[in-house]
Amino acid sequence: MDAAGAGEGPSSGGGAGDAVGSARPAGAPSRYESQKRRDWNTFLQYLRNHKPPLALARCSGAHVIEFLRYLDQFGKTKVHAPGCAFYGHPSPPGPCACPLRQAWGSLDALIGRLRAAYEESGGTPETNPFAARAVRIYLRDVRESQAKARGIPYEKKKRKRAPSSSAAPAGGESSSSTALSGGSSGSGAGDASGAPPLRGSSGS
């Protein structure tokens, strides 16, 4: 499962973008919708392969966290251990034996898609396991631990204040908030999508 599709930026303005949009076959799902469907199907398969099998109605935040940990084996982001010489080094000069993990940005985007898919499938916001407090805390801990291990601060960039009187010069930069994802480390925000079909996953 990939969190990559969640990082799509806004389409550029102009006739070219409109032409591309109009060329899409009627009724064809967007990349986001296609990714969300794949993520949801993979999660349901994970529940079926769970030992013992787990019904969606009984799924809790703890099971969601278990699923995210399961996905780590398919990650592409190097996360240095505290004892590693490269711990906290944003650009390690050489290889090390530290494990690959799912980037925080990938997991965060993945949970957003699964949270939406759960409610679109008839679930209620009150019972949504992907919106559980435990899941939010887990994602926050992953973000902070990866920031320390990789020496990359996850801080939102502040918006630049628009000039009050003078007009912006031609060709000036447009101010926008940068969505933070695991891809900032060079791992790409699409770690989660590389997960192969699930086979006999069991609860840890």
Cis peptide before 52 (omega within 30 of 0): yes
**201 vs 42: CA distance, rounded Å:** 12
List pLDDT tens digits, range 35-75.
Answer: 999 999 999 999 999 989 999 999 999 999 999 999 999 99
**190 vs 108: CA distance, rounded Å:** 11
Q: Does the pLDDT value for residue 28 go beyond 50?
A: yes
**42 vs 60: CA distance, rounded Å:** 17
Q: Does the pLDDT value for residue 80 go beyond 70?
A: yes
Tell me the three state secondary structure of residue 78.
strand
**Residue 44's pLDDT is what?**
96
Q: What is the pTM of this model?
A: 0.64
**139 vs 179: CA distance, rounded Å:** 16
SS (H, E, C) 24-54: CCCCCCCHHHHHHHHHHHHHHHHHHHCCCCC
78 — phi, psi (to 5°)? Answer: -75, 120
List pLDDT tens digits, range 124-145.
Answer: 999 999 999 999 999 999 999 9
Task: Provide the pLDDT confidence category of residue 33 given band limits of 50, 70 and 90.
Answer: very high
Task: Provide the pLDDT confidence category of residue 150 given band limits of 50, 70 and 90.
Answer: confident
Tell me the three state secondary structure of residue 101.
strand
Is residue 39 within 8 Å of residue 115, measured between CB atoms?
A: no
Domain residue extents for the chain:
30-153
Alpha carbon 134 to chain centroid distance? 17
**1 vs 106: CA distance, rounded Å:** 9
**Cα angle value 141/137/105 (rounded, 5°):** 60
67/195: higher pLDDT: 67
